[in-house]
Each structure stands twice: as C-alpha cells, then as structure tokens.
Amino acid sequence: MRIFLISCLVFLVLLSCSSERIIVNKFPNYIEIQKGDSVCISWEFLNAKFVRVSGYDYDFNPSDSLWLKPFSSLRLDVVAYGGGNQQITQSAYILVNSKENQSVEPKKTIQRGPRFVEDIFSYKNTQKTNFYSGFSDAPISNVSRLKILRLSEDTNFDSLSVDFVLLDENGNFCYEVSKHSSDIKLQIEQKCAGKFSSTEYLNLAKSFKIDERIDVHFIIDYSVLNDIPQIKQDIVESIKFLDIGDRVSLNFFGVRVANVIPLERSDKFLWDLEAFEFPRSNELSSVFYSLCSLIDNLDGETNTKVVLITNRMDNSSINYTLEDVISKAKSKKITINCITFGNEVSPYVYKYLSSKTGGNFYHFPWKLGEIGKSLVEVILSSKYYFGAKIKFSKKELKCKDLDIKASVSFGNISFSDEYSFPIQDRTFYTNYQAVSLFEHSDTTIKDVFLPTIDNLANLLITHRNLTLELIGTASIGESYSDPVKLSLERALAVQKRLVSKGVYPSQIRTKGIGISKPIYPNEDDETSSLFNRRVEIRWLLPEILPFTIVVDTVSSEEQAERKVEFWEKLGYKSYYDRLFSRNQMMYKVVLWGYRTYEEAERDAVRVSRKFKKNAIVE
C-alpha cells in the first residue's frame, strides 16, 4: 500500500512538471464605451483547464466570453488555471464615458490613462503659471521666459547637457518657435568665478528633444502623507501626460522602502492607483538607504526617472550616505528628481543630489499647492524639451561651481536663465541619525525599528574597530518626570539589543540628555512629540569628523542663521542646533569637521583668542 501511494505521488509530481504553460491567445486589455452601452469581453487561453472571473462564482471555459452593461468604469480580473497549480491573471479595463459630456465637449487627444495618446501637443494650459504645464505652437513673440530645467554630465565627463524650455505666461512650452524664423539665436555661456568664461552658439531648431519611452519611479516619504492629503490626485494628474508605452511604479519609505505598485504600464498604473489607499505611518526617514535600495532593484537599461518627495532630511540610513546614492544613480544613468517642502529640509542637500544625477529640483517652504504643478513639470520635461550639449574641458574640473547662462534672442527680444552646477564634491552636515523612536514615558523599542538596529549591529560586528555613542532624548511633555533618566534608559535599551546581537559592549557608549535637544520645540502634535523621544547615534571615528566647537548661543533662529553665515564666510563649516534650557528655546551655533578632540581643542583656543569667545569642544 505504501509503495502504491509513493508511486501515485511521483506520478502526480511528474504530471505537474510536464504541464504545458498557459498561453494568452486572445484577451482585450482595454475597451472604451459610452454609458448605457453593452460590451462583450471574450478570451482564449491555450493549455488552460478553466477560467474564473472576478465577481462570478462559477467557472468559465478557456475559450469563452461575457456580456456586460457597466454603469461606471471598472477593472475585470480574469484568471486562467492550468495543470500543476499554474495560473495567469489578465485584467480588462472598461472605461465608461458619459454621453452628456461627449455631446458638450469633443474627445481630447490629451486624454490619458488607458486611452491612447494621439497628440499631446494639442493640450494648452489656460492659467497663468511659471511651471511647464502644456504646449503652444505660437511664435517667439508669445514667449515670456526661458527656464533651465537641469544639467547633466556626460558619462565621459567631457560635456554637459543643458535642458530647457521656452514658456508663455501660462506655462505652455513654445516648442515650434524656431520654425517661425531662422534668425533665432541660442547661446550658452559658461563661467567659473575668477578663472574663465566661454560662449557657444547652437541651433535651436535641432535642440528639440522627445524621449519616446521613460520609466518613472515615485518614492514618497510616509511623513508627506500627513501634510499633503491630495498627493494621490497630484500624481494622477501628472501621470496623465505619459504615453501608453511609459511605465510607472509607486514606493513609500520610512525606515525601509516598500514597493506598493510594481513597475507597470502607465494606463494600468492609473487604474491601480485609483483603487489604492495611501498608508499612514510615523517613522524615521531613511532617505539615502531607501534610494539606494530602489536603485539596486532597477535595471538602468531604460530611460529611468526617480521622483523623490519628502519633507525631511535623512535621519536613519546609518551606513548609507548621499555619496552612495549619487554613485549608484550615475552608474546606472538614473535621474533623481527631488521635490521637497517645509522648513525642516535643507534644500542645498537635495538640490545637490538632483544636480549631480541630472534631475529637476523643487523646494516649497509653504506653497504646498504647487507640488502638483512641479510633478506635471517633471513628467512633461522628462519627455519634451530643448536639449543642448556643450563642451566640458578639464579646466572646469578646477571650479567649485560652473555657472551656466542659456539665452535665446531674436532681434530685440531676448530670454535667459542661469543655473549653478556643482563641479567639486560637497560634504553636508547630518544633524542627527536615529535608530528608534519611543512612546510617551516608554523605553520599549517598536518592532518597526528593530531592522535598523539589527543592521547597525551587523555593521559593528563586521567592523570591530567602529565605536559609537547612543544618545537618548525625551520630549518636552515628559519634563514632569526625570527626563534625563528616561532618555538614558532608552539608550540602554538600544545598547542591550545591540549586545544581544553580538556587538562588543566596548564599542558602545551611552548618554541621556533629557529634553535639551528637541527637534520640534513646540510639540503641537503627536508626531513632533514622537520625534523628540528618540535614540541618536554619534560615530566616534576620525573619518566621520565627530567633534564640534560651540561658538555662540543666541535666542532666535534668525540670529543663528546670521551667525552661521558669518562663520562660513570666514571659511569654517558651520550649522546651528536647537537647545532647550530653562523652559526656553535657544540656538547654539557650531563649527564642525574635526577628526579628533585635540584638533578641535586647538581650533577652539584660536577662535576664543581671536574673537574673544568662550569656544567649547563637544
């Protein structure tokens, strides 16, 4: 009996292995009808046994059809089942147009989603804006401005590509201006402060570019969703300008990146996005780690655009840096477009990231309603633009920044724009790197932060020479208890987790600083309080430049900004940090970039003598 059962099992395994693959011989991916009309969905699957259709509880034949009379647009999932647990899913998109709308307004060729794109250049924006928003075939007399979108280095580092548009007052790209006159001149001037300048004259008519196919990967910080509830609709409106052959994916990130809609055709992406509910999560923002993880999973063989949307600086990537992101993106020729907002963001960091990878950059301190306009501009300018290539010699490599001025002129009419491109690499100060946030009066590490701490443990185990300090903090709302003790217990909780994973105790120092370093001094909501209850890390390594000098303490942010500007003009690296003391918010101005305590101490003595200050090393 046992031998018989084994034989049957082997026979079934062999049968499943020998099952022929299901082939889609016929299937309608997209159908468009008017409201009130019926539609027939028919299919043919080779090597299938039966078919199931969403919404129906019985089996259909591999070659079959279904009549529907939908009242609204819908997606119908059809699953074919074969031998050996095989199955294949196809989705039919049925778009139902309103007859009333059809009679009032003729069908536009700009209509997107599953509809075929016939002529995008027929779309013209009618509202005044500085953003690239539509198209116009008007002559140069209608142009109101030239806008440089981005610069990018050639892979051989011997040329620069300058991408720009000529816009009318409503943000329409006047793409055919060169056809109206052969006397239009395009010139691009390069300047390097105090070193040289050069000018090239180019043919505007030959500079019009169309990128036939692009892949767009949206990667959005979870924290964005709390401030911009309309971000989903903003994405929808921008995707409408993509062709049916373009592909899109959607990703969110906090301490880890999550791919919620995989890379797929733009029409299918729109349907899936409409049905997708955006998640809510309060997490740290591992911007650099998440970008690196996303780029690692991209093939880089297509014209690939990443669109980062965030209102925070990187605060939890630990062992991933801005340089890692730029290096990975360049190696795969991937463009990173950064859209940032709020006053917690240092726009210089994200502008540098966009510039070095050939992307567009936008920062909105307050006007969050314009984020949707910037998304439309990113999509449109990724596919339709003027592009000019200029020579890039070795003498430019000696410049800190290369200033580019693009000009278009015709008789007395002239338009120009300037762009400063970073040649030399930059180092930016990271305000803090945290591994965990905590609930009120609690020292328990949430599960969401364990992978970050474990990643830190692996790094410390692999490199036994690494040492760090864990700094616990408390929220201002916890000041009624013993905030220093509470913050120390949080640091000790993280230390305990690291040691349990195999890290040597000698590699870790711990400290609690209570409420003295809040990120959010007002704590007007739970999110701000949560971020004030954290454990930061401070690397104690010379190459990390861990030592700083406190040179000033002032009472307002405006004063702190002026002090930072003063020290930077003298050649120091400087920033300011919030300091909560005696129920009052103060701002300490810091000089940074010191490898050792002794090096910082020597400079502190010089600063104290020269500027008559009590400079203190931290």
Instruction: Using the predicted structure, report yes or no on whether residue 134 has a pLDDT greater than 90.
Output: yes
Q: What is the pLDDT of residue 494?
A: 95
- Identify the weakest region by mean pLDDT among 112-121, 240-249, 250-259, 320-329: 112-121
Q: What is the pLDDT of residues 2-50, one digit of tens each?
A: 554 455 544 444 444 456 888 888 888 778 888 777 788 888 999 999 9
β-strand partners of 585: 580
Tokens read off for 596: 């050792």
Neighbours of 464 (CB within 10 A): 11
Average pLDDT over residues 385-411: 83
Residue 412 — very low, low, confident or very high, per pLDDT cuts 50/70/90?
confident
Q: Is the dihedral of CA 476, 481, 483, 489 positive or negative?
A: negative
Residues 266, 243: Cα–Cα separation, whole Å: 7
**Which pLDDT band, with edges at 50, 70 and 90, does 582 fall under?**
low
Which residues in 482-513 are b (16+ Cβ under 10 Å) and which e?
A: ebbebbbbbbbbbbebbeeeebeeebbebebb
Judge whether residue 446 has pLDDT over 80: yes
- Quick one: pLDDT band at residue 267, thresholds 50, 70, 90? confident
What's the CA gap between 358 and 152, in Å, rounded? 4
Q: Which residues lie closer than 8 Å to 503 by C-beta, 6 or more apart? A: 457, 460, 461
Res. 289 pLDDT band, cuts 50 70 90: very high
The answer on pLDDT for 247 being more than 90 is: yes
Residues 6+ apart with CB under 8 A from 244: 114, 116, 117, 265, 266, 267
Q: What are phi and psi of 601, to 5 degrees?
A: -65, -40
Half-sphere exposure for 171 (CA within 13 Å, toward CB): 17
- Residue 218 — very low, low, confident or very high, per pLDDT cuts 50/70/90? very high
Pairing verdict, β 87-97 and 74-81: antiparallel
Per-chain mean pLDDT for the chain? 85
Backbone Cα Rg of the chain: 29
> Does residue 100 have a pLDDT over 60?
no
Phi, psi dihedrals of residue 445, rounded to the nearest 5°: -80, 125
H or E segment to which residue 607 belongs:
helix 597-611
Give buried/exposed letters for 184-220 (b at 16+ CB in 10 A, else e): bebbbbbbbeeeeeeeeebebeebbeeeeebbbbbbb
Distance CA 23, CA 44 (A): 9
> Percentage helix, strand, coil, to 5, in the chain?
30, 35, 35
- Measured distance CA(595)–CA(534) in Å, rounded: 26
Cα separation, 561 vs 126, in Å, equals: 40
Average the pLDDT over 77-99 and give the result: 82
Sole residue written with tokens 């104290």 = 608
Is the pLDDT confidence value at 496 over 90?
Answer: yes
> pTM above the 0.85 mark?
no
**Could you tell me the two tokens for 197?**
């300048």
| Four-residue CA torsion sign, 345, 535, 453, 470 | positive
pLDDT top residue among 196 and 170: 170
- Residue 108 — very low, low, confident or very high, per pLDDT cuts 50/70/90? very low
Q: List strand residue ranges (DSSP E) for 230-292, in order.
A: 247-253, 257-265
Give the C-alpha separation, 509 to 498, whole Å.
Answer: 12
At residue 3, the pLDDT reads 53
DSSP 398: G
Mean pLDDT confidence for 75-100? 81
